[in-house]
Amino acid sequence: MNIDAYPPLDGVRVLDASRVLAGPLCGQVLGDLGAEVIKVERPGAGDDTRAWGPPFAGPLSAYFLSCNRNKKGMTLDLACAEGLEIFYDLAKRSDILLENFRAVSASKLGLSPQALHGVNPRLIICSISGFGRTGPLGDLPGYDFAIQGLSGFMNITGPVAGPPCKVGVAIADVLTGLNAAIAVLACLHARKQSDHGYHIDLALLDCAVAAQVNLVQAYLTSGQVPPRQGNAHLQIVPYQSFATADDWIILAIGNDGQWHRFCQAAERPDLAGDARFASNTLRVQHRDVLIPVLEVLFRSRPSSAWLALLEQAEIPQAPVWDYAQLFGHPQAAARGLRISVRDPAGNAIDLAGSPFHISGTTLPPAAAPPTLGQHTDEILGRLLDLPAARIDELKKNGVI
């Protein structure tokens, strides 16, 4: 196979004016695929997540490190006329703009999609917000925790008899960032034929609802709000975690053949022969009878014994790991789940690796997230041909 010398998004320039997680994660994905991503931040403070710690690696918080690799960083005050003019000049030279300004604020600043398309008609603008640009909630700020509560995520997450729980990571932000990457890449492809720009209106609430797939569809199909299942599955049984004699394991039986093999391996042929458990539909209907029996059964042996037995019988199973166990496993090294980069001072920083493994092309090596304003001079000089004296003047005026 011939190997392309250039990464998939070579020559694509992204202006990342977003902050916190959804937009920055989208920018990181595009950077991982070879785009030139310019992160624009407020002078002095920068992205809010720079201060979200501990832990920190030097001046960079772990949170900021998680979603800003493979970017160049500059500072720019968008609220002043000189800063806005520079931003327009950068937009003219960019293919994609990521932003999460509130609609009212963007209009006041001259950063509405209409204004930006007036500057660059071919620009692909992705506007990320909590609720989108339409509807009665349109101009409310959106926060992942609130979106998890409003979207139904918290109502389906957590113990059966316990309180509603959020997902352990900012899942609405993450899903929106990934959907943003999909949308901008689709528009980038479409632009080859249309030769015009696009405005993408992406909402955290919409992405969170779409991600709940079968559970949302169960409600729409039946009109019944699905009950919280904890670590079990609404529509498959047995498909959940079980406490063993010394730990926890996951059992994920997805069909009746696996169920029969499980019963044989577990030396419980009586369960396989019980008419109440003959099919998945029947097991779902009789889960209140079956699951207590399995809970007692799994407590009879340690996890290592169960995992070995289930693996030999080709039953889907897994231990429950923490991060130390995950990153200590050879699979993590084989897939590059942990990578090491150097910060501007030359210090090593460990990051979570990109999930992309693509044959036939060369992906860029990972670069550490930028310190605040690290590449401002370079970007203004290289892209906008500003002389050093002008850059110094902008610094004195607080524009950069």
**Helix ranges (DSSP H) in the chain:** 22-32, 62-65, 81-92, 103-109, 113-119, 144-151, 171-194, 204-210, 213-222, 256-265, 269-273, 280-285, 287-298, 303-312, 323-327, 330-334, 376-384, 388-396
Q: How far is CA 137 from CA 65, 72, 148, 248, in A?
A: 31, 34, 15, 42
| Cis bond before residue 164 (omega within 30° of 0) | no
What tokens appear for 2 in the block? 């011939």
Main-chain dihedrals φ then ψ at residue 218, nearest 5 degrees: -60, -40
d(CA 14, CA 214): 34
Main-chain dihedrals φ then ψ at residue 96, nearest 5 degrees: -135, 140
The SS3 assignment for 219 reads helix
Strands 60-61 and 56-57 come out as antiparallel
d(CA 400, CA 385): 16
What tokens appear for 208 in the block? 């969170």
User: What is the DSSP code string of 295-354?
Assistant: HHHHTTS-HHHHHHHHHHTT--EEE---HHHHHTSHHHHHTTSEEEEE-TTS-EEEEEPP
Contacts of residue 299, Cβ cutoff 8 Å, sequence gap at least 6: 243, 244, 245
- Based on the residue annotation, tell me whether 173 is a catalytic residue of this protein: yes
What tokens appear for 285 in the block? 């209907």
Which of 32, 95, 144, 173 is catalytic? The answer is 173
d(CA 118, CA 255): 56
User: Residues with catalytic annotation?
Assistant: 173
